[in-house]
Amino acid sequence: MQKVLKYLLLWLLPLLLQADFVNWLGNYDVAHQKALQEEKPLLVLLVKKNDPLSSSIIQNTLMNHSYVKQINQKMIPVIITYEGTLSYPIEMYYTTVFPTLFFVDSSREIFLTEALYGEAIRTEKVNAKMVEIFK
């Protein structure tokens, strides 16, 4: 059994190392300060705990796509759990649809483009938003 697990791990490790992940921060205040210092916009993903759609979107739309590198280079991504205890401006990011993806000018705290909600967070739409913001 241990040999099987060992081979499985050796097989999966290269795949995991090649994966392109968004480098999420987990604290809004820290992300906002970093965005201000680096003069970058925020990418805010608001999710609910134990929500299958949120997990699916993180794995299928916000991983291993060409725009992930651009997100990591040109934005400060932060993931916020709706039920979380960390503070964030709820009046700014209020929604009843989860997950929601916001594109925000960090200095003026205004939206750069319309947010994406729920199942609308798809690869082609995220890519289009990135093109729109960084044209």
Give the residue among 26, 128, 6 at the shortest CA–CA distance from 70.
128
**Domain of residue 98, residue span:** 21-133
Q: The CATH number of the domain where 33 resides is what? A: 3.40.30.10
Establish if 5 belongs to a structural domain: no
Model confidence pLDDT, tens digit, residues 91-127 = 889 899 999 999 999 999 999 999 999 999 999 999 9
Establish if 83 belongs to a structural domain: yes
3-state secondary structure 58-109: HHHCCECCHHHHHHHHHCEEEEEECCCCCCCCCCCCCCCCCCEEEEEECCCC
Establish if 68 belongs to a structural domain: yes
Establish if 34 belongs to a structural domain: yes
Establish if 37 belongs to a structural domain: yes
Establish if 94 belongs to a structural domain: yes
Give me the number of domains the chain comprises: 1
Model confidence pLDDT, tens digit, residues 15-72 = 444 558 899 999 999 999 999 999 999 999 999 989 999 999 999 999 989 899 999 9
Q: Is the pLDDT of residue 13 over 70?
A: no
Establish if 9 belongs to a structural domain: no
